[in-house]
Amino acid sequence: MEIQTSEIVGFIKDLVHIPSPSGNTEAAINYMKSFLEENNVSFTMNNKGAVIATIKGEDDSKHRLLTAHVDTLGAMVKEIKNDGRLKLDLIGGFYWNTIEGEYCTIHTNSGKMYTGTVMMHQTAAHVYKGMNELKRDEKNMVVRVDQEFHSKKDVEDAGISVGDFISFAPRFEESDSGFVKSRHLDDKASVAILMHIIKQIKQSSITIPYTTHFLISNNEEIGFGGNSNIPKETVEYLAVDMGAIGDGQATDEFTVSICAKDSGGPYHFALRKHLVALAEKHNIGYKVDIYPYYGSDATAAIRSGADIVHGLIGPGIDASHAFERTHVKSLKQTADLINVYLQSPLV
């Protein structure tokens, strides 16, 4: 299987431009359903709204499952202020300063959408002395809506209400040097990789040794995915999610990250060793890392009592949950490792 990073990047571009904060992922899931139908891949839906695609293998008695998630960070309208601005409540684990100045969209219950900007209420250097010293938090951060709103009533009359979802502009860019910059690379970069793998298997009529499921989950950022519907034959579960980069971390933007441990504890040692051995055998660049402030859908599956061998790999993502960036080399190394893993024996 020849990995085409241009197609992976194309899928990323499509996905990040589909708003899908946790709790409001229907459009992204519909995109995935259309993709699976176009590639003649059978799938089911669970009641939580996640997609489980299945490709039959030579052995149908023991199954594998790979997962990536389309839900992203976002926000909700918490309060409508008397001046027509909106207070926010955050969806997912991120910090207020990472969205300051970001363009956003308010999605109303009626389907109307309004644009705006997330900002400090006291953003006017000629008015608010010491504004740089104020705390970025739910008290001071607001959305300035791009409408002529002078009062709370103006906002309500336009159809905006408490509980409306707010999505952030992705600002997708691909550089000539191979970097991909965008919000929501967590975890739409991994979803794009799985899409490419699925398409390659189907179009090339590749036979895989074990029946394999691809769970596209939609609630990972809030701590749970589609794990109540793991097919009972599943014995191996591999989450494909970002590798986080920072001081003290081994992960970079040019290799695949193999996670040894996260906030939920160690990943299955035999599966981790198997993934490392595959990477070394096939000359795939990799880094083994530990993420103490991280939890994947694989961790959620173990916590929910799933009787599985679990692992976690993914492309290295710089500035996770903020101004994210990766490189096509990391996308390729991750796809290459998944490719050889799918052809390998169970641990």
pLDDT of residue 158: 98
Give the per-residue SS3 of 149-213.
Answer: CCCHHHHHHCCCCCCCEEEECCCCEECCCCEEECCCHHHHHHHHHHHHHHHHHHHCCCCCCEEEE
pLDDT of residue 227: 79
Domains with residue ranges and CATH for the chain: 5-72+184-342 (3.40.630.10), 74-168 (2.40.30.40)
pLDDT in tens, the chain (347 residues): 889 999 999 999 999 999 999 999 999 999 999 999 999 999 999 999 999 999 999 999 999 999 999 999 999 999 999 999 999 999 999 999 999 999 999 999 999 999 999 999 999 888 988 888 889 999 999 999 999 999 999 999 999 999 999 999 999 999 999 999 999 999 999 999 999 999 999 999 999 999 999 999 999 999 887 677 899 999 999 999 999 999 999 999 999 999 999 999 999 999 999 999 999 999 999 999 999 999 999 999 999 899 999 999 999 999 999 999 999 999 999 999 999 999 999 99
- Which one is catalytic: 220, 236, 253, 324? 220
- 243, HSE (Cβ side, Cα atoms, 13 Å): 29
Task: Give binding residues for Zn(2+) as ranges.
Answer: 69, 186, 221, 241, 321
C-alpha distances out from residue 211 to 68, 114, 216, 290, Å: 18, 44, 16, 30
Which DSSP string corresponds to 294-314? ---HHHHHHHTT--SEEEEEE
Handedness of CA 302, 304, 307, 312 (dihedral sign): negative
Quick check: is 138 catalytic?
A: no
Task: Give binding residues as ranges.
Answer: 69, 186, 221, 241, 321
Percent of the chain with pLDDT over 90: 93
**Whole-prediction pTM:** 0.97
pLDDT of residue 226: 67
